[in-house]
């Protein structure tokens, strides 16, 4: 902790004076004791900052710690100049004066901090050894102030006086363009004048400023949707950010409507630790979307205790994102599927990896999309007959012909096949198929089918694969999640997915026969089902690590049932000490396994999500406390059985 003094009570003034005298006495010793990385850099552990090259030379030759104090920022850019802040000064590098004594100059912090004050000028006086008049500003410097001024660098270091001696809270001070002299008559003559901490005071006045990087925000979230968002924020200001105490800084967000009014104020997350200027802190949010559809501005900002939002003082301090919030798609009304294009999938078990599930992973209003693979693959028609085989990395363009309902396959612009109703691309061996038109999450196992949906009026890429591989591709939770928490999640994932294939759930959010697939991938590339089902990332999720795969293997074939029937195992991000019942959130008679239960793991938190079923963040906490996944599941889904179906 470095010395930080501000104007205040007499007690604080005495403490500050004693501290400053000690600092002056120890200046030389402190400088000699600094660890040096090389001849061009000096590091100050007191503030965690270094001074290098030209700034280092200026610091050492023109006054050191006594005059400038410790550095409080790294070198930063301001108004086209390289600058560095110290407790008492701002160094400015002027390349136009390179090689001269004016290559490094001091910023006019005294002028800046007194810009809202008017100091009366005085009449000229005759200069003597004890007084000097400066006609440039109409002020004098006298006595001990003048002796210090002359001995410590004069105009080059301090600039012209901009005030006479004034009393501030019982302390006699005088302002200069670059500094503030403070008078302590009770100390020996050589220690009677110290310099004010103008660099720190300016940092306090300006307040925190951050640069934000956001990861995990969905491009097109639904109303009230909870999103697990990771935020990195860099301190681009000139002061330190405290993580606790009366001036603590936290990170927060607000949704602004089209008029700029606050539509929703989200939670504020405290910093994990002290953040120095130039450093980066990382925090995690459960961001909740507004409750009405429309276009909003998501504003990321810093909140400081006692001062409020940084953007209220300086609008440029916030980072803003324009986000369109969508209403969820209405529950589909089952319609008869044309006989020529049946959805042949049923939840029958087809292999040791379980029943086959069909997932809508990409949709477009265009009439074509591309398919490829990192190994051999083939195109089949609806009868299973091979229409064309392809080699690794060949890119096939599939064009839907609306007039005939046929699909044309083109390779390098040339037609190589044409099939009716839909086309299926089958991976050979270990080939991973890909959909190059997707901005992210392009790779998929097993089968990718291209088919037009008359219901949603979009051309779809549909990934057909065994249930177990589907579960390993769900991206709801990170690899860092504890093992038992991931196991609980995989059972819920598997159960929820199967419920969308079970006829008993027809009309309750299941697609049924409306679409040629069972469930949508929920990410940004599957409108109109963005956020409607499960966040399935395909093979990409497997590349992030093996923890989810291990959890899925450990719970292979396990589902949640009640009275022998698969439940709709709803889950969400975070509870607030209590879950919600199905009836409370979605109406109707409800279900005995979906009732409100106490959730001590989330006590004191805010609700993120619908609140029904299992809060995933609580499973993380409970797993870290030693609870097993089966106990977690039975805690949140009342009266269920853990049933192994294969």
Please give the Cα distance from 529 to 160 (Å, whole number): 68
Kindly report the CA angle at 548 between 468 and 348, in degrees rounded to 5?
10
Taking the mean position of all CA atoms in its chain, how far away is CA 189?
A: 54
Please give the pLDDT value at position 506. 59
Share of the chain above pLDDT 90, in %: 62
Higher-pLDDT residue of 522 and 347 is 522
Closest CA relative to residue 495, chosen from 606, 337, 326, 629: 629
Tokens 């100049």, located at residue: 81
In this structure, the number of other CB atoms found within 10 A of the CB of residue 82 comes to: 16
Query: Residue 48: CA atoms inside 13 Å, Cβ hemisphere, count?
Result: 10
Please give the pLDDT value at position 463. 96
| Residue 486 Cα distances to 219, 372, 481, 496, 546, angstroms | 26, 32, 6, 15, 11
Domains of the chain, start order: 1-204 (no CATH), 207-325 (2.60.40.10), 356-644 (no CATH)
Mean pLDDT across the stretch 152-168? 95
Per-residue pLDDT reduced to its tens digit, 132-159: 999 999 999 999 999 999 999 999 999 9
Per-residue pLDDT reduced to its tens digit, 87-135: 999 999 998 998 888 899 999 999 999 999 999 999 999 999 999 999 9
| C-beta of residue 387 within 8 angstroms of C-beta of residue 408 | no
Q: Where is 155: in which H helix or E strand? A: helix 154-158
Mean pLDDT across the stretch 637-646? 92
Per-residue pLDDT reduced to its tens digit, 549-590: 999 999 999 999 998 889 999 999 899 999 999 888 877 788
Please give the pLDDT value at position 353. 62
Q: Where is 83: in which H helix or E strand? A: strand 81-85
pLDDT range class, residue 645, cuts 50, 70, 90 = confident
Please give the pLDDT value at position 608. 85
pTM for this structure? 0.51
Tokens 């023109």, located at residue: 62
**Cis ω for the linkage preceding 528 (within 30 of 0):** yes
Please give the pLDDT value at position 530. 80
Please give the pLDDT value at position 509. 62
| C-beta of residue 203 within 8 angstroms of C-beta of residue 238 | yes
Lowest mean pLDDT among 46-60, 157-171, 205-219, 337-351: 337-351
3-class SS at 600?
helix
pLDDT at 274 over 50: yes
């Amino acid at each position: 902790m470095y010395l930080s003094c501000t104007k205040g009570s007499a007690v604080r003034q005495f403490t500050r004076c004693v501290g400053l005298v000690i600092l002056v006495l120890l200046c030389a010793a402190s400088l000699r004791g600094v660890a040096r990385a090389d001849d061009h850099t000096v590091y100050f552990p007191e503030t965690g900052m270094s001074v290098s090259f030209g700034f280092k030379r200026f610091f050492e030759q023109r006054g050191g710690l006594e005059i400038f104090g410790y550095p409080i920022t790294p070198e930063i850019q301001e108004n086209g100049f390289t600058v560095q802040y110290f407790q008492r000064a701002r160094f400015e590098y002027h390349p136009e004066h390179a090689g001269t004594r004016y290559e490094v100059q001091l910023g006019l912090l005294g002028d800046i901090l007194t810009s809202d004050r008017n100091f009366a000028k005085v009449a000229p006086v005759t200069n003597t050894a004890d007084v000097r008049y400066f006609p440039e500003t109409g002020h004098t410097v006298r006595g001990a102030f003048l002796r210090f001024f002359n001995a410590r660098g004069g105009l080059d270091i301090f600039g012209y006086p901009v005030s006479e001696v004034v009393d501030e809270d019982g302390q006699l001070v005088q302002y200069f363009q670059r500094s503030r002299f403070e008078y302590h008559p009770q100390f020996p003559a050589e220690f009677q004048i110290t310099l004010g901490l103008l660099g720190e005071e300016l940092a306090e006045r300006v307040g925190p400023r951050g640069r934000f990087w956001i990861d995990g925000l969905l491009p097109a979230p639904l109303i009230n949707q909870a999103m697990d968002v990771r935020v990195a924020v860099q301190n681009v200001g000139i002061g330190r950010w405290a993580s606790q105490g009366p001036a603590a800084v936290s990170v927060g967000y607000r949704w602004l409507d089209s008029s700029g009014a606050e539509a929703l104020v989200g939670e504020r997350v405290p910093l994990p630790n002290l953040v120095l200027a130039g450093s980066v802190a990382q925090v995690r949010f459960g961001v909740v979307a507004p409750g009405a559809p429309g276009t909003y501005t998501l504003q990321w900002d810093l909140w400081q205790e006692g001062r409020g939002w940084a953007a209220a003082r300086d609008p440029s301090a916030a980072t803003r994102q324009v986000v369109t919030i969508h209403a969820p798609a209405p529950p589909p009304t089952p319609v008869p599927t044309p006989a020529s294009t049946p959805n042949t999938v049923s939840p029958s078990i087809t292999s040791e990896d379980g029943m086959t599930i069909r997932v809508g992973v990409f949709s477009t209003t265009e009439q074509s999309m591309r398919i490829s693979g990192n190994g051999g693959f083939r195109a089949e028609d609806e009868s299973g007959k091979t229409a064309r085989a392809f080699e690794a990395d060949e890119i096939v363009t599939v064009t839907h012909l609306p007039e005939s309902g046929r699909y044309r396959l083109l390779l390098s612009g040339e037609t190589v096949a044409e099939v009716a109703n839909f086309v299926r691309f089958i991976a050979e061996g270990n080939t991973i198929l890909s959909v190059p038109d997707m901005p992210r999450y392009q790779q998929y196992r097993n089968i990718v089918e291209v088919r037009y949906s008359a219901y949603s009026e979009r051309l779809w890429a549909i990934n057909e694969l065994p249930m177990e591989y589907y579960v390993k591709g769900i991206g709801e939770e990170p690899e860092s999640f504890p093992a038992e928490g991931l196991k609980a999640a995989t059972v819920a994932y598997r159960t929820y997915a199967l419920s969308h294939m079970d006829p008993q759930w027809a009309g309750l959010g299941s697609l049924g026969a409306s679409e040629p697939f069972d469930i949508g991938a929920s990410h940004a590339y599957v409108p109109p089902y963005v956020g409607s089902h499960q966040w399935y990332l395909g093979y990409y999720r497997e590349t992030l690590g093996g923890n989810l795969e291990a959890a899925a293997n450990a719970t292979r074939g396990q589902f949640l049932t009640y009275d022998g029937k698969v439940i709709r195992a709803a889950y969400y991000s975070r509870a607030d000490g209590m879950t919600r019942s199905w009836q409370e959130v979605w109406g109707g008679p409800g279900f005995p396994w979906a009732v409100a239960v106490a959730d001590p793991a989330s006590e004191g938190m805010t609700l993120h999500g619908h609140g029904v079923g299992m809060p995933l963040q609580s499973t993380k906490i409970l797993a870290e406390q030693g609870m097993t996944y089966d106990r977690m599941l039975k805690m949140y889904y009342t009266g269920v059985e853990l049933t192994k179906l294969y």
